[in-house]
């Protein structure tokens, strides 16, 4: 039977991880997959997370099923972390999902059930997994202009023009903060203008928020989402705790729906649970219980916030230092944009062949579209990195 299958197309980000692991060069640098690294190049378990895990281990008396919504207390605390005072509990419902990706996938299926074959506007560019997830759910992906390769900012007018042409019931997928892969983010005025446009056109916003706290701060990073939640009649959110709690392999995410009223919200979450049931049944609990324990205890929450602040400060410092090194190596301001971008990633503007040369000749790994993981930058080798980037871009 399987001879009927054609080989799967490798995922651009995960394939790179395999290549990096197989490379015997000791001084290799991994700027590929989005995981946070400390100055020792490790992705450690956060101290607050470790402490919460110990508590859970000691207190746990059963591993019986929790149900399709997963850990309800996690759902409540994470909904508050995302929406704060924009949370209207009468028409907001959420279920735990296996990671942010799991949340995106079941929400896409929910949207497909509500509106079969609907068009989903996706930023150009976007996280490469958005397209296959949307397509596999029966929806129709289409791009909206986003990144301006000349200014390294956002083509906001072009984005708004495209979205203004959308039909009521179409969907717009927006990155809540820390845009992946570009690092260029909407400001508060732009979020407000998008919220108004959504109300005018009848578009449904689908927010992917995977890096809350990695850009400017927990609240600033969710400000756009909160503006939408206060303004639009309905929206869906797929949230991830992989990065801000460092619980990548525990798969912790939330699928949240805001309906026009509480009855509609109940129906939507009921359908979402059915989709979960037929996909994976129930989500894993350990990571969600850990996050819920951290957020529910004032001392652990304080400790986690301090650790999160330190991670963000480190990424901002690395951005500034790399931009300085690139300025020195190129004798130009070409790469200064790295300093103004936010989050884990920046799109460098390097071409595919320049990226290949960096990998082959300099053991520097970045995604084929030129995306770098800022949190993977090596503190003590930024000069080497900058010189290598400038060399390949000048040679081509």
Q: Map residues 53-82 to x or -, x wherever contact with ligand LMR holds by CB under 6 A.
A: ------------------------------
Among 79, 180, 182, 388, binds ligand LMR (CB under 6 A): 180
- Phi/psi of residue 178, nearest 5 degrees: 50, 60
Tokens read off for 95: 């279920």
Taking the least distance from each CB to ligand LMR, the nearer of 147 and 229 is 147
Residues 107-136 that bind ligand LMR (CB under 6 A): 127
In terms of CB distance, is 34 or 370 closer to ligand LMR?
34
> What is the spatial distance between Cα 4 and Cα 11, in angstroms, rounded to a whole number?
21
User: Which residue, 37 or 93, is less far from ligand LMR as judged by CB?
Assistant: 37
| 13 near ligand LMR, judged by CB under 6 A | yes
Q: Specify the residue, 259 or 283, whose C-beta has the smaller distance to ligand LMR.
A: 283
Minimum CB separation of residue 26 from ligand LMR in Å reads: 24
Alpha carbon 288 to chain centroid, angstroms: 18
151 vs 170: CA distance, rounded Å: 29
Question: Which residue from 34, 102, 183, 343 is in contact with ligand LMR, where contact means CB under 6 A?
Answer: 34
59 alpha carbon, distance to own chain's centre: 32
| Smallest distance, ligand LMR to C-beta of residue 100, A | 8
Phi, psi of 37 (to 5 degrees): -130, 140
The DSSP annotation for 103-138 comes to HHHHHHHHHHHHSTT-EEEEEES--TTHHHHHHHTT
Q: Cβ(107)–Cβ(235) under 8 Å? A: no
346 binds ligand LMR (CB under 6 A): no
Residues 56, 200 contacting (CB under 8 angstroms): no
DSSP assigned state of 147? B
The site for ligand LMR, by CB under 6 A, has a size of 5
Q: What are phi and psi of 230, to 5 degrees?
A: -80, -20
Examine residue 376 and tell whether it contacts ligand LMR (CB under 6 A): no
Q: Examine residue 33 and tell whether it contacts ligand LMR (CB under 6 A).
A: yes
Q: Which residues are catalytic?
A: 127, 208, 210, 243
Beta-bridge partners for 171: 120, 204
Identify which of residues 178 and 294 has a Cβ nearer to ligand LMR in the complex.
Answer: 178
**Would you state the structure tokens that stand for residue 327, as one six-digit string?**
């300025």
Does position 182 interact with ligand LMR (CB under 6 A)? The reply is no
Where does this chain bind ligand LMR (CB under 6 A)?
A: 13, 33-34, 127, 180
């Amino acid at each position: 039977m399987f001879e009927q299958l054609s080989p799967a197309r490798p995922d651009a980000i995960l394939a790179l991880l395999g290549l990096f692991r197989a490379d015997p060069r000791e001084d290799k640098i991994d700027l590929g997959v989005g995981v946070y690294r400390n100055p020792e190049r490790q992705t450690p378990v956060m101290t607050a997370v470790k402490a919460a895990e110990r508590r859970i281990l000691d207190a746990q008396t059963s591993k019986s099923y929790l149900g399709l919504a997963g850990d309800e207390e996690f759902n409540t605390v994470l909904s508050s972390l995302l929406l704060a005072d924009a949370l209207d509990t009468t028409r907001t419902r959420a279920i735990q999902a296996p990671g942010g990706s799991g949340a995106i996938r079941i929400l896409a299926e929910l949207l497909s059930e509500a509106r079969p074959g609907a068009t989903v506007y996706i930023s150009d560019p976007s996280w490469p997994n958005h397209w296959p997830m949307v397509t596999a759910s029966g929806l129709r992906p289409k791009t909206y202009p986003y990144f301006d390769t000349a200014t390294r900012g956002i083509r906001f007018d072009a984005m708004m023009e495209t979205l203004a042409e959308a039909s009521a019931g179409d969907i717009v997928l927006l990155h809540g903060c820390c845009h992946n892969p570009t690092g260029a983010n909407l400001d508060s005025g732009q979020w407000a203008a998008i919220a108004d446009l959504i109300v005018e056109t009848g578009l449904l916003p689908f927010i992917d928020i995977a890096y809350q706290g990695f850009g400017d701060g927990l609240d600033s990073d969710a400000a756009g989402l909160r503006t939408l939640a206060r303004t639009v009649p309905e929206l869906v959110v797929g949230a991830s705790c992989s990065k801000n709690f460092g619980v990548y392999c525990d798969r912790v995410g939330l699928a949240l729906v805001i309906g026009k009223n509480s009855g509609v919200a109940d129906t939507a979450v009921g359908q979402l649970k059915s989709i979960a049931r037929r996909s994976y049944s129930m989500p894993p609990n350990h990571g969600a219980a850990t996050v819920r324990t951290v957020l529910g205890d004032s001392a652990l929450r304080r400790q986690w916030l301090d650790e999160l602040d330190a991670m963000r400060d480190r990424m901002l410092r690395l951005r500034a230092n790399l931009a300085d090194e690139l300025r020195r190596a190129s004798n130009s301001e070409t790469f200064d944009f790295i300093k103004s971008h936010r989050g884990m990633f920046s799109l460098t503007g390097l071409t595919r062949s320049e990226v290949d040369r960096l990998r082959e000749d300099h053991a520097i790994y970045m995604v084929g579209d030129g995306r770098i993981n800022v949190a993977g930058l090596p503190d003590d080798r930024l000069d080497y990195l900058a010189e290598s980037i400038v060399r390949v871009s000048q040679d081509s």
